[in-house]
Amino acid sequence: MALISYDSVDAAAFHATRHLRNADLGTWRTAISRHFEAQPGMRMLDLGCGTGSWAHAFRTWWPGVSVVAVDPSAAMRERAVFQPVVPGATDGLPFRDGSFDGVWLSTVIHHVPDLAAAAREIRRVLRPGAPVLIRSAFAGRHEAISLFHWFPEAVAVLDRYPSIADVEAAFATAGFAVTGCEPVPQATAPSIADAAAGLRREAHTPLQLISDEAYAAGIARLNDAARRPSGPVIDALDLLVLR
């Protein structure tokens, strides 16, 4: 389920640097709530939960909703701030048909080897009409993500990710249609200096898949930018919703 195989080093880097601060989750909560109206007794599946930050947020936001987290990586499961995390992947979910009211996938869609097969499995475990919410960077949509300003060589990696059209076509084979798509801004770091100090190559697939020379050049650009005063680093990832 991965362009890279997550080991303990990757999981530690992800845990240390990729969790948004609680104060910076508001834009995502607002956007998600437009498509998922949480009610007591509902069940949300966090598929490919990584180190569990979103599952943890959902449990905090919606105390009456049962949140179930799944990840194929043992290293990620061991590091997760949400427990328990169930072993599993998109090609075989260990749940009954129609057992969830929503499925969340955050920065994971590019790790799915067969999108159509994943769509069929997600369709199986979802109740009729329930949403699939996909938070991601998509091919061709790098402009609002600061990482690619400093590491332009990584755009070529992003362009290997599925595009929005690719995901829409794959999920259409399982009867899904797009019902929403919007960029959601988030404060990724308090400043460029903080972004530079906290960057871990192992936490970002595009940075792992560029050359060492390209990575070093990007670090030089980032450190140069960090020497000047700045406000928060604001990025925007897309929220794609299908039903």
The single residue listed with the structure tokens 């020379």 is: 213
Mean pLDDT of 64-78: 96
Q: What is the pLDDT of residue 1?
A: 39
CB 21 within 8 A of CB 213: no
CB 115 within 8 A of CB 55: no
| Closest to 18 in 3D by CA, of 154, 157, 137, 164 | 137
Alpha helices by DSSP H, the chain: 8-17, 26-33, 53-61, 74-79, 115-125, 147-150, 155-158, 164-172, 192-198, 205-208, 212-226
Mean pLDDT of 81-97: 95
Q: What is the pLDDT of residue 6?
A: 77
**Amino acid at position 197, single letter:** A
Specify the higher pLDDT residue, 84 or 91. 84
Mean pLDDT of 173-180: 98
| Closest to 101 in 3D by CA, of 59, 58, 42 | 42
Cα 215 to the center of its chain, rounded Å: 22
pLDDT at residue 2 above 50?
A: no
Mean pLDDT of 236-243: 98
Mean pLDDT of 135-150: 98
Mean pLDDT, all residues of the chain:
95
At 146, list the tokens: 């600061």
Q: What is the pLDDT of residue 136?
A: 98
Peptide bond into 87 cis (omega under 30): no
CB 136 within 8 A of CB 117: no
Mean pLDDT of 217-235: 97
pLDDT at residue 15 above 90?
A: no
Fold of 8-141+154-187+235-242: Rossmann fold (3.40.50)
Mean pLDDT of 15-21: 88
Q: What is the pLDDT of residue 3?
A: 59
pLDDT at residue 141 above 80?
A: yes
